Structure 1
Amino acid sequence: MNSDFFHYIDLVGTFAFAISGALAAINRNLDIFGVFVISFSTACGGGILRDICIGSFPPIGLVSLQYVYIVSLAVFLSAFFQKLLLKLNHPTLFFDAIGLGFFASFGAHKTYLLIQNSEIAILLGIVTAVGGGILRDILTTTIPTVLTKEIYASAAIIGTVIQLFGEKEFINPTYAPWLAIIICSSIRLLSLKFKWNLPSIKSI
């Protein structure tokens, strides 16, 4: 896979998470600046944390105008079509699930490309996938999804492992990103539909 392909994966994930953040902010009745800040934090927060951890400076999310354009487009579309989007069942979580798969794949790929360490690639792939959602939830005063019993980070783990198998050529590198995206996002979406959860530690 060439670098352009993974760049587009990153951009698609950015757009999906930007929509997720914008809808969460609109639901909180924030002004246009607040919506943009939360949308940008959701879309770029995980990637910025990853780049800092792997020493990729400056983080691409802070210096490339492409990300600003994508977030701006997501905010515009979310505002313009908000009545339609908010009619969906949990729209914030839907777009979050789509972005989760794309970012799990891209985060693991970029980290392994620069670090060549499997454990770090999995860890920072997960950070890429869930970091923005954590920031979104904190900024909208919600308990971060990754800290609840919902299947969220565990779906990202599976996505990053599949991508890593592709990097090591245990599976075909051409198919690995698509498998990682589809399986990760599908697990998250199915867990929402059928209310699959990890067991709670609290005693009844």
Structure 2
Amino acid sequence: MLLCDIGNTSYHFCNENREYKESVKSFDPSSVKEKVYYICVNKALHVKLHSLSNWIDLSEYIDKKKYYQTMGIDRIFAVEAINEGVIIDAGSAVTVDVVKNNEFVGGFIYPGIQAMRKTYENISPALAYSFNFECDLDIMPKNSQDAISYGYLKTLYSEVMSHNLPVILTGGDALEFKKIFRDAKVDEKLIFNSMKKIILQNEDRLC
């Protein structure tokens, strides 16, 4: 089974044996002859992929009425993967989505590490610090690095923990956020596991 999570810059493939990526700019999806189950946030690719009969758009097998109209399909599939919890997808942006009793409650979008770091740096070169994910969020900081780290992390941490639900981390910076969400589960294949779940649920329709 070949799965593909398509973003704005890359095709992220996964089969039973390995994961690999191909560039959106240079990769030709028609070169793949086997059946591919995919989701795609890149609108420019939709028409091209829909013309390829072996590329199956799994977003068509989701009840999108449960979600708001502009919600990204990657976030929707992350939510579909769990019955209850708070999902933090830590990438170029940090998305946080809350699921209770198998229902999407809502979510929000937070700047990613690099975006927020550049924001501080643009304010003043004196604030050009990396974030300290090991700073104590229970104590007001007394140095500049911890001051910007606290300002970025404390708000996110407090909001997530206020829901009193299990926390699931995914995305490229998941291990960094694991340092503050110490009891969280890291699931680097959350989207792919959700895709497999949707395929199994729609096995008759997908045959």
Task: Give the shorter-chain TM-score range.
Answer: under 0.3
**Which has more helix, going by share of residues?**
1
TM-score w.r.t. the length of structure 1 is: 0.27
